[in-house]
Amino acid sequence: MSKDNPDLLKLALVQMAPVWLDRIKTLEKVIGFVVQATAENCRLAVFGEALVPGYPFWVERTDGARFNSAVQKNMYAWYLQQAVQIEAGDLDKLCKICAEKKIAVYLGCIERAADRGGHSLYCSLVFIDDAGKIASVHRKLMPTYEERLVWAQGDGNGLQVHKHGAFTLGGLNCWENWMPLLRTALYALGEDLHIAVWPGSERNTFDITRFIAKEARSFVISVSGLMRAADISPAIPHFEPIRQGFSGPAADGGSCLAGPDGEWIIAPVTGGEKLIVAEIDHAAVRRERQNFDPAGHYSRPDITQLTVDRRRQNLVKFIDG
């Protein structure tokens, strides 16, 4: 936010590769980019889907649907061990940096959820505000295709928005952005800066980023990661067959930013790690909402309404005493 103009927000799209399947080293790299973003006077930094500790690229390269496969069991066990446990304090250092630097962060991570027994994994989008508080954890509602072999289904608890200066932020993971009712839920909460996170590749971000911007009359950030054969460490189980399955990059970026008129502010960027900085003006949202506001004057709640269950879903309710 600018002291001279509170409508302005400077932000960073962080396109980076994880230290694949290494939570600690990847978080160190994330913190480095956050510090770099604050040096550019950014007040918001956004990272790609499943970045910590990384997207499960091994599944499609190692016969991932084979039942009772020792390879898949070994890889899952490693993934589980490297996943983020929020309750154990895995994000505490990042939260402290956010508070010190007064910057908010959206981070895609693989969450090992204690409230679901601690042995299932969720593709979660975590929002850390500029006071260093974890304000929401959105667990991806519908993993896509082979992701369902690794990730569990989330719930509606994370369908939240957050005020940040003049803007109201909300976010979704990857192909959730194609789900119209999820977008509608965020629009109804007043979202005007939409965060879409992806594992990578321009094919994911090119069409939908501008489409959501035009539909919502909002700014839309799409942030993608990177993944190349060279990013696979020999320390990872089944290193050789996974690496041999790469004929080129598995994820090549594609991070971009569209304005509320549906036009590019930053067209998709591919090819390498980058800190992409932009400044946006909330006045542009207000101008575009004049003729179309999807949750306001151009909606008909007397005819169609959406019900959203935001309760965190658990298997057991204990009654003690």
Domain count, the chain: 1
Give the distance, in angstroms, between the CA of residue 169 and the centroid of all CA atoms in the same chain: 12
Mean pLDDT of 106-128: 97
Q: What is the pLDDT of residues 83-100, one digit of tens each?
A: 999 999 999 999 999 999
Is the predicted pLDDT of residue 262 greater than 90, yes or no? yes
* Position 301 in a domain: no
Domain that holds residue 255: 8-288
How many other C-beta atoms are found inside a 10 Å radius of the C-beta of residue 34? 23
3-state secondary structure of 10: strand
CATH code at position 65: 3.60.110.10
Is the predicted pLDDT of residue 117 greater than 70, yes or no? yes
Mean pLDDT of the chain: 95
Mean pLDDT of 139-151: 97
Answer whether 244's CB lies under 8 Å from 234's CB: no
Q: What is the pLDDT of residues 3-18, one digit of tens each?
A: 789 999 999 999 999 9
Q: What is the pLDDT of residues 236-261, one digit of tens each?
A: 888 888 888 787 888 999 999 999 99
* Position 300 in a domain: no
Q: Is 135 left (phi over 0), alpha (psi -120 to 50) or beta?
A: alpha
Is the predicted pLDDT of residue 294 greater than 80, yes or no? yes
Please enumerate in sequence order all residues whose Cβ is within 8 A of that of 204, keeping only pairs 6 or more positions apart, or say none: 174, 198, 222, 224, 254
- Confidence class of residue 2 from pLDDT cuts 50, 70 and 90? low
Please enumerate in sequence order all residues whose Cβ is within 8 A of that of 190, keeping only pairs 6 or more positions apart, or say none: 161, 168, 295
What is the structure's pLDDT at 44?
98
* Position 141 in a domain: yes
* Position 304 in a domain: no
DSSP state of 61: G
* Position 186 in a domain: yes
Annotated catalytic residues are: 49, 140, 174
Distances (CA, A) of 19 to 5, 27, 46, 62, 77: 38, 9, 17, 20, 18
* Position 309 in a domain: no
How buried is residue 99: exposed, middle or buried, by Cβ count under 10 Å (0-12/13-18/19+)? middle
Q: What is the pLDDT of residues 192-233, one digit of tens each?
A: 999 999 998 999 999 999 999 999 999 999 999 999 888 888
Q: What percent of the chain has pLDDT over 70?
A: 99
* Position 311 in a domain: no
* Position 43 in a domain: yes
